[in-house]
Structure 1
Amino acid sequence: MATDTGFLRATYNLLGSIRFTVFLLLTLAAGALLGTLLPQGMSQPEILMRYGPQRAHWIQLLRLDDLYHALWFQALLLLLGTNLTVCTLNRLPKTLKILSRKENEINPERLLKFGQHATFATPLALDQARSAMEPELVERFGRLRVLSTSPSFTAVAEKGRWSHWMLYLVHGSVLLILFGALLGSVLGFKGFMNIPEGESTAQVHLFGREQTVVLPFEVRCDRFEVAYYDNGMPKDYRSDLTIRSQGEDVEKRSIRVNDPLTHAGVTFYQSSYGSDLQEVELSLTKADTQENFRVSLPFRRPVALPGTAGDLQVVEFREDFQGFGPALAIGLYRDDQEPTGSWILADRPDFHGNRVGDYQVQVLRLDKRSYTGLQVKKDPGVWLVLTGFVTLLIGMGLSFYTSHCKLWLVAEAGNPTSRIVVAGRSNKNSLAFESEFNHLCERLRLRLQAR
């Protein structure tokens, strides 16, 4: 039992350690740097091609290609939030003790030991001295708490008592940012969907992962338009979208680049466009006999070659293949031979490489269907992060530029003069408070002399 208690105490002390805070911050900073330098959302073939098998293994094992959804990164965020919470709870009793402390009496000799103190004499009686000084003190500090009026007049004034809570506002803001980031990392996603004109889908393909997210509604592309510059470069592209839920249209909206649509917390950005291949018509010429025939191939559906025991299939389509225009990846499958295939350039019929097996291939017709490419993003924690940043800035500003200032005043009757002792202290901004204290003492002297 004692061992368990010791372990729990050691764990609690570690979670409340400033050194542990520094370690977590440095580790998160290093991770964020990797996430910034390493492109996020790459596919597995891209990682293998760019970094090689050995580095790709570690990148995928540590999920450095999708860092902000990596379990270890989420665990670091959770640990930092826990660490900050424990540090805050450890500091809270001290703050409450400071705020609850109230003097019932003042020792004037103790005030003389303060770094900021002043002593001056006045021929006025105590009640006259009080009435002379009190308006100035109230103007500067708002309220004067009188402790005694006889045989001496003692009082305490303070302002900025609430400034002690600014540290907790900063801590709470950081916790809000961490919680928002963790919420977005766990429940959010980022992906894409390609929607042909006139069709709808609810599936979002996640970047860098062989996974899809099914939305609770469908998105239909009613119309897609592209405007071009005179040189042929795209100038603007627009998608007319309809959100459908339970078989009914619930929202219609046109989106452009930098003018997204948000529905149910999911944001759709216009990011790209392209064409989906539907069907292709080919002319095949056998190399040895010059026999020629035509065949129509639906995309990714095998079709039997006339007079042979083989199948032909379009397995891939590229709108622009390495700068040579549209191209088809065609495979030839025969029962008694290994499959063969090649890329066929659609706009270059005389290209010598347009061959599949022993057939010369020429593209006669491409049936394509335009689609709009949407980037889809959901981040349920974004408003928490934004709110946290705003409150963090407010809390830091108030923490730097406000302080808890306290003033003690003792007026003792004497013959022929009364003695006034004033002392002050501030928990921050001591130089600014020194200037304010000296100015206050000068004002009090002038008020006493004016009587």
Structure 2
Amino acid sequence: MNGQSDAVPTEPAAPRPSTPGLGWDEFSRELVDFFASVKLAIFLFLFIAITATIGTVIQQGERAEVYIQEYGENAYRWFLRLGFTDVYHTWWFTSLLGLLCVNSLTCFYKRFPSVWRSMKQDKVGVTMAFIKNLKQQAEIPVENTKESVAQSLVQHFVSKGYRVLAKNEPGEVTVYATKGVMGRVGAHMAHLSATVIVLGGLLGSYYGFQEFGVCLEGQTYHIPRGNFDLKVDKFWIDYHENGSVKSYNSTLTVLEGGQAKATKTITVNDPLVYNGIWFYQSSYGDAWDQVEVARINIKEKETDKVLKTIDLEWQKEQALADLKLKLSITDFVADFAFNSTEKKVYSKTIEHANPAVKLVINEGDSVQATPWLFQQFPDLFEIKDSKYQFELVGYKPRKFTGLQIAKNPGINVVWTGCTMIVVGITLSSFIFHRRIWAKIVPAPTGVTVHIGGTTHKSQIDFNKEFRKLTEKIQTFKA
């Protein structure tokens, strides 16, 4: 032993290949593939459909009491937390639409450039092997010169609507014919239209508005979002002979600085449009705070005898000299309620469930009173020191016109997207991209035409066309 180790020396271990990390190129490709995936598109369309269903089933933008009455207080609290009372303006619905835009744009970015390059690229310089590897291909001997066959072939393609390119080289002639490339563009146009429609919807959602106004004939209302006034000149209802409603109409005038700028009679589906704001005829009904006329019975208190029945017009005083009375109607509520805190009478609903009018009475020089008269409870109150008893026996409510007031700055964008999708689907459905290559090479007894073609749709029709083309080439004889 010499003190040295007798261990067998080993060869140095080969370095282990390092596993490359996920670089930016790989990450970007994965990201593009994810956002362009069909699975993501299906997921987004599914959840948008579910959301739209919720927004359709649950009324949007109603008052709290409407939801509480229909669904209960606990359900209303959850509606507020989840945004179900205003689905289309929630952050999560906007996010779904944003992701749909990203998905559509990514698909367009991933697929359209190759189509565009295909449209712009010179396809004449192909090899014989390329033609022979096409699904549709044939070799046709023709007893003629290559120049004559090439000329006849070009003329035939032109007559069939093809765009033709030809290349004459020593020993061969190459002919390339193509048509229907817009069919490829159409599919991508339809794809891109979804983004345009969604962007138009978002533009209208965030920068537009939709409101409902109850308006009375002869009244003028200020439109703050348009900085002008709107006067309801007239409202009327047309009836069929059987008494059913035929149409309801409003004549509206737009005022700016007291000057009339536009006047139009609107009906359902025929709105007034001014400065981008649309006024639709939406509904009509009986006003809950005004009447045209109220019929009052005046009875002698001691005998309960009806002395006179009069019709009082809204807020117009009427003098009865024989009874030494002056009467007028100053207020009306369709469904009487009283706020004890504010000491105020109001209509708790718009339904004419418990109608009442406020009657102002001047009886001689001794009695002045302002009682509420109830149609359903005529003897509810007695007027002190008066010789008369008053009762409400009927009334004619004023009709209101319900106007839907809306502005949607994205509507033109949406219509552009709709046009794109119609044009895109039409192009994609009825125009098919077809490409045919032919190489004409000399042969011992003339030339041989090596021909092949492809189509991206309607393969059966293309097979028939290709077969007819081969039969036509056989006729190109000298």
Could you tell me the TM-score, scaled by structure 2's length?
Answer: 0.72
* SS of residue paired to 1:146: strand
Distance 1:188 1:446, change over 3 A: same
Tell me which amino acid in the other structure corresponds to 2:41. Answer: T
Q: Gaps spanning 5+ residues in structure 1: where?
A: 204-212, 284-293, 302-309, 331-343
* SS of residue paired to 2:62: coil
Matched, 1:53 2:55: no
Q: Deviations over 1:154-203 (max 9, x none)?
A: 22222223433223311232122111211222222222212233321125
Q: In 1, distance between residues paired with 2:124 and 2:356?
A: 91
- C-alpha contact 1:300 1:314 (8 A) present in aligned 2: no
- C-alpha contact 1:202 1:214 (8 A) present in aligned 2: no
* SS of residue paired to 1:163: helix
Tell me which residue corresponds to 1:170.
190
Instruction: Give 1:87-106 correspondences, 5 Å limit.
Output: 87-103=107-123, 105-106=125-126
- What is the Cα deviation at residue 244 of structure 1? 0.8
Distance 1:50 1:438, change over 3 A: same
Matched, 1:277 2:277: no
- What is the Cα deviation at residue 24 of structure 1? 1.4
- C-alpha contact 1:176 1:384 (8 A) present in aligned 2: yes
Tell me which residue corresponds to 1:225.
236
- What is the Cα deviation at residue 239 of structure 1? 2.3
Distance 1:409 1:224, change over 3 A: closer
Tell me which amino acid in the other structure corresponds to 1:321. Answer: H
Tell me which residue corresponds to 1:414.
443
Instruction: Give 1:178-197 correspondences, 5 Å limit.
Output: 178-197=198-217
* SS of residue paired to 2:476: helix
Matched, 1:127 2:147: yes
Distance 1:298 1:74, change over 3 A: farther
Matched, 1:315 2:346: yes
Structural RMSD (CA): 4.0
Q: In 2, distance between residues paired with 1:92 and 1:311?
A: 68
Distance 1:311 1:251, change over 3 A: closer
Tell me which residue corresponds to 1:251.
262
* SS of residue paired to 1:42: coil
Q: Gaps spanning 5+ residues in structure 2: where?
A: 1-20, 298-325, 334-340, 359-371, 383-388
Tell me which amino acid in the other structure corresponds to 2:401. Answer: T
Q: In 1, distance between residues paired with 2:47 and 2:221?
A: 40
Tell me which residue corresponds to 1:386.
415
Tell me which residue corresponds to 2:307.
none
- C-alpha contact 1:134 1:144 (8 A) present in aligned 2: yes
Farther-moved stretch of structure 1 (75-84 vs 95-104):
95-104
- C-alpha contact 1:78 1:182 (8 A) present in aligned 2: no
Q: In 1, distance between residues paired with 2:240 and 2:401?
A: 19
Tell me which amino acid in the other structure corresponds to 1:437. Answer: F
Q: 1:152 aligns with which of 172, 179, 196?
A: 172
Farther-moved stretch of structure 1 (313-322 vs 64-73):
313-322
Matched, 1:442 2:471: yes
Tell me which residue corresponds to 2:56.
36
Distance 1:6 1:321, change over 3 A: farther
Distance 1:327 1:415, change over 3 A: same
* SS of residue paired to 1:390: helix
* SS of residue paired to 2:457: coil
Farther-moved stretch of structure 1 (154-163 vs 20-29):
154-163
Matched, 1:139 2:133: no
Could you tell me the TM-score, scaled by structure 1's length?
Answer: 0.76
Q: In 2, distance between residues paired with 1:401 and 1:4?
A: 43
- C-alpha contact 2:124 2:166 (8 A) present in aligned 1: no
- C-alpha contact 1:176 1:385 (8 A) present in aligned 2: yes
- What is the Cα deviation at residue 395 of structure 1? 0.5
Q: In 2, distance between residues paired with 1:127 and 1:114?
A: 24
Q: Deviations over 1:63-106 (max 9, x none)?
A: 32332233322232122112211221122333344334434544
Distance 1:105 1:197, change over 3 A: closer
